[in-house]
């Protein structure tokens, strides 16, 4: 299972959604939680979209079955984050998931190129495998949020898990470059081919916008890339 | 089922209570929740009224059965709002409700006349039906609160649902004009006749009060219409 | 059942504890809740007293069985207050309690003598009975807190209930005069004799202290009466 | 069972971990809670460590079986603290634990030497036993936090329990001197031998650092002793 919820730089959210699209994975289960924010979203066609988690399945990667999990948001309460992570892991066990990959961003306050990817795992042999694939070891520190809890709570369930954090400047809402960096590791580890052209185009747009913003007299014109629907500005209190 | 809890301009609360009264619907079930505010209200005759949700039933509309749901307040915690919406929808399924109508106000900061009504739905064909009845499409944005959750969480339960938002200036506590605008759409869609004279009288009083307040030297004299008991000022901490 | 938790002026707490002592009621059940404050108290002999609710029983009033409920504190969260009230009422039903009396203080900001007692009830005929015994009708307003919830949530359980609020100045932590006023009504309604001398002595001490404080050059010397152990100042964070 | 969670001066945490190490106790059960903070920690080797409680067992003390309980942190919500304490006590009952020892620090704002140890118990005879071993009686006051709840909630479960609080200045994060003071009492009461040399060395380092800090022109150089992994500074929001 490859799981990633919205978080810093939307790294995990972008990466999982990219994989779902490229590997033509299909939605097969949804997860609702009272600890999501108490609002619903509207599509362009006027249909409603409640906050939820989505499970997708594919075998089109050519190297076995993949389950993906992502969500429209992270639960806003700490208990809600624990409960969501626990439910996803419970479901992963029921699906006999062998290995869980979670991911996220690591704020650097700088625009690094290429983005380095740091990682941790549930056991040392997996960590070795990650380091052989160019991942830097997270030796110490903590990971906050649902992506971290999914990773950490896999351990008492005896589900092998790794967590990959790509460097991201804190100021990008949708850091396609960081998502690409994480996906390159995931593709290598799992032996799958993933077309990155969309993410690369978006990453270049981000970088160009940041460069323009740094030119004298330009200011921060357009540093944010395309936004998903959930980031629109209209909001009604019913 | 036609459901509306107190919210901005009390639009949904006024509309559902008006329908209950006009269609002589009868209370048949009550819902209590630990996420209502921890207080109880007193009637003029000294009897106690705890915070609660009320389900009413009527077939006096002449075009089938109607269930109404309203409550004395919205749960104050987000989790409580989810839980209340979920319980109401669970009950709606048990009652074999075919279609859910929720509603609310959309703050415009201006006094618009007539009030436009915006809407969303659980599927595109319902949206078309709404647009044919003069409802403007909510294409994008989000709806916060229990009225929105009732609407959005109907979708995973496969209950057809629509949500209607009437324009309301933010400063009216009880906007009868917005309630009337929403009810006109509901009456049209459901083929029922609803006497609006009470709401029209109250709407006129509101408008006159606002007009008076705008005259030089008058100030905001009496902009709020009749208040329900729950808005009285006496409050004792026992 | 006669129930009263700590609250404004400790009116209900003082009254129920006085009845328990005077009628020699015996502790027969305890109630613990995770929504009490996360601390434990120590007695003079070094033994520990966790926060809890206590149920007492007596038939020494001579006019039937009485169950009393009080607690060391009110739950600090609104949900906790609902849950405690609901548990107490559930237990009251199991005990076949016929009538519930709850009580509290009503802040007046003044030292009124005698203290007036206001009341509400679950049905109008009970309200009449109260008025015949000198209780003023609470026509409107709201009662906040667990004492109010016990009263209000008795209604959907079809347990007859009344709530009595005695006037209390906000600045007295332990208003024995208000407790006495409430107890006089309870004694009259239930046809029991209660020795009030302890409360009267304490009420006089309170009044004298307030009078002294108002004399020029004296200030607020000793306006608080004897405190229960839970109000001591020593507090350790373990 | 000897139980101690992180708290003021990390007294209980240091003491239990010292006993676990010295008595070669082995981990035999883990406890997870959604009310721990929503983050996971990384070891030096890159493996993940979720927040959790640990139960250890040993009979190497030579005077019977010992179960130890400690945790990486205290639950951050009051309800979570109650729930954790309740679960630990439930498990203690299942393990037929005869006596529970909890502990903590008592802030004195001064560096006292030797540290006095105060105590409370679930019954007066135990308190006598403590006083015979040099423990001062906690006559009044309250103990806040999970260590206090473990102590207090043992009472309704009819588990004999004592709580020991060692004096600690508030400004030491890891007060080995206070941990040693508590352990000396525990060793005496239980008739076990515990090598304190590690704690004594660390206590001396703390004291030297505080003394140096008080010399003119030195300032607060190095008042904190070795920190456990959970106090590192790296923290990533995924």
Judged by 3 or more CB pairs under 8 A, whether A touches C is no
Alpha carbon distance D72, A40 (integer Å): 37
Could you tell me the sign of the dihedral formed by the alpha carbons of B89, B93, B94, B98, in that order? positive
Q: For C77-93, how does the pLDDT look when each residue is reduced to its tens digit (9 = 90+)? A: 999 999 999 999 999 99
Alpha-helix runs per DSSP H in chain C: 11-22, 78-94, 124-132, 146-154, 176-190, 197-214
Angle at B25 between CA B82 and CA B152, to 5 degrees: 25
Best of C102, C143, C155 to substitute, by most chain B Cβ atoms within 10 angstroms, is: C143
Could you count the other beta carbons within 10 Å of the beta carbon of residue B63?
10
Alpha carbon distance C182, C203 (integer Å): 13
CA atoms within 13 A on the CB side of B112: 16
pTM of the model: 0.89
SS3 B17: helix
Alpha carbon distance D129, C180 (integer Å): 43
Alpha carbon distance B206, B211 (integer Å): 9
Do B153 and A32 make contact, defined as CB atoms within 8 angstroms?
yes
Q: What's the rounded mean pLDDT across residues B31-42?
A: 96
Q: For D73-89, how does the pLDDT look when each residue is reduced to its tens digit (9 = 90+)? A: 999 999 999 999 999 99
Between A1 and C237, whose confidence is greater? A1
CA A46 to chain D, closest CA, distance in angstroms equals: 32
Query: How confident is residue C232, by pLDDT bands cut at 50, 70 and 90?
Result: very low
Q: How far is CA A107 from CA A162, A170, C237, in A?
A: 19, 5, 35
Does D117 score more than 80 pLDDT?
A: yes
Asked if A103 and A5 count as a contact pair (C-beta separation under 8 A), the reply is no
In terms of CA atoms, which chain C residue is nearest residue D8?
Answer: C238
Between D184 and A210, whose confidence is greater? D184
ipTM above 0.90, yes or no: no
Do A237 and B7 make contact, defined as CB atoms within 8 angstroms?
yes
Does B195 score more than 60 pLDDT?
A: yes
What is the percent of chain D where pLDDT is above 70?
A: 92
Q: What is the CA radius of gyration of chain D?
A: 18
What is the percent of chain B where pLDDT is above 70?
A: 92
Which residue do the tokens 């676990």 mark? D20
Query: How confident is residue D127, by pLDDT bands cut at 50, 70 and 90?
Result: very high
- With 0-12 / 13-18 / 19 or more C-beta atoms within 10 angstroms meaning exposed / middle / buried, residue C221 is exposed
Pairing of strands C99-107, C2-3: parallel
pLDDT of amino acid C226 = 43
Query: How confident is residue B92, by pLDDT bands cut at 50, 70 and 90?
Result: very high
Q: Where are the beta strands (DSSP E) in D35-176?
A: 39-42, 48-50, 53-58, 66-71, 99-107, 117-121, 136-137, 142-144, 160-168
Which residue do the tokens 């006349």 mark? B113
Query: How confident is residue D235, by pLDDT bands cut at 50, 70 and 90?
Result: confident
Spatial CB neighbours of B85, under 8 Å, sequence gap ≥ 6: B146, B149, B150, B153
CA A100 to chain D, closest CA, distance in angstroms equals: 13
Does D137 score more than 90 pLDDT?
A: yes
The strand pairing partners of A43, in sequence order, are none
Q: What's the rounded mean pLDDT across residues C140-150?
A: 95
Q: How far is CA D235 from CA A121, A175, C21, D32, in A?
A: 16, 20, 56, 21
Q: Where are the beta strands (DSSP E) in C32-170?
A: 39-42, 48-50, 53-58, 66-71, 99-107, 117-121, 136-137, 142-144, 160-168
Which structure tokens are listed for A212?
């323009």
Pairing of strands A160-168, A117-121: antiparallel
Q: Which among A6, A7, A5, A8 has a CA at the least distance from the CA of A169?
A: A8
**B78 at A interface, C-beta within 8 A:** yes
Do C155 and B48 make contact, defined as CB atoms within 8 angstroms?
yes
Q: Which among D51, D72, D45 has a CA at the least distance from the CA of A148?
A: D51
Alpha carbon distance B66, A81 (integer Å): 39
Best of B36, B38, B79, B228 to substitute, by most chain C Cβ atoms within 10 angstroms, is: B38
Q: For B48-91, how does the pLDDT look when each residue is reduced to its tens digit (9 = 90+)? A: 999 999 999 999 877 789 999 999 999 999 999 999 999 999 99
Between C63 and D140, whose confidence is greater? D140
Q: With both helix axes pointing from N to C terminus, report the angle between D11-22 and D197-214 in degrees, rounded to the nearest 10.
A: 150
Which structure tokens are listed for A185?
């590791």
**D123 at C interface, C-beta within 8 A:** yes
pLDDT of amino acid A217 = 61
Q: Which among C85, C103, C98, C96 has a CA at the least distance from the CA of C13?
A: C103
Which structure tokens are listed for A173?
């809402």
Specify the DSSP element, H or E, that contains A232: none
- CB-nearest partner of B122 from A32, A36, A47: A47
Q: Is A46 left (phi over 0), alpha (psi -120 to 50) or beta?
A: left
Burial C25-40 (b: 16+ CB within 10 A, else e): beeeeebebbbbbbbb
| Contact pairs from chain A to chain D, CB under 8 Å | 130
Asked if A138 and A120 count as a contact pair (C-beta separation under 8 A), the reply is yes
* Contacts made by residues A121-125, CB under 8 angstroms, sequence distance 24+: A121/A160, A121/A161, A121/A162, A121/A163, A121/D46, A121/D47, A121/D48, A122/A151, A122/A154, A122/A155, A122/A159, A122/A160, A122/A161, A122/A162, A122/D47, A122/D48, A123/A160, A123/D47, A124/D45, A124/D46, A124/D47
Q: For B179-190, how does the pLDDT look when each residue is reduced to its tens digit (9 = 90+)? A: 999 999 999 999
**C71 at B interface, C-beta within 8 A:** no
């Amino acid at each position: 299972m490859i799981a990633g919820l919205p978080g810093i730089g939307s790294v995990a959210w972008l990466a999982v959604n990219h994989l779902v699209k490229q590997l033509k994975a299909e939605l097969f289960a949804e997860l609702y939680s009272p600890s999501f924010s108490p609002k619903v979203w509207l599509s362009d066609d006027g249909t409603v979209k409640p906050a939820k988690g989505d499970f997708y399945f594919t075998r089109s990667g050519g190297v076995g079955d993949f389950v993906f999990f992502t969500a429209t948001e992270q639960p806003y309460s700490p208990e809600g984050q624990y409960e969501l992570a626990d439910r996803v892991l419970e479901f992963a066990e029921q699906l006999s998931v062998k290995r869980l990959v979670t991911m996220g961003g690591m704020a650097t306050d700088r625009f690094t190129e290429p983005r380095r990817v740091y990682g941790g795992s549930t056991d040392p042999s997996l960590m070795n495998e990650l380091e052989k694939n160019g991942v830097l070891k997270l030796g110490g520190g903590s990971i906050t949020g649902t992506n971290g809890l999914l990773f950490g709570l896999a351990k008492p369930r005896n589900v092998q898990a790794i967590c990959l954090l790509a460097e991201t400047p804190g100021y990008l809402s949708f850091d396609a470059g960081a998502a690409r960096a994480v996906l390159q590791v995931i593709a290598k580890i799992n032996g799958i081919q993933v077309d990155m052209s969309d993410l690369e185009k978006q990453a270049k747009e981000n970088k160009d916008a940041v460069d323009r913003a740094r030119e004298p007299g330009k200011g921060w014109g357009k540093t944010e890339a395309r936004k998903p629907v959930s980031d629109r500005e209209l909001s009604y209190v019913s």
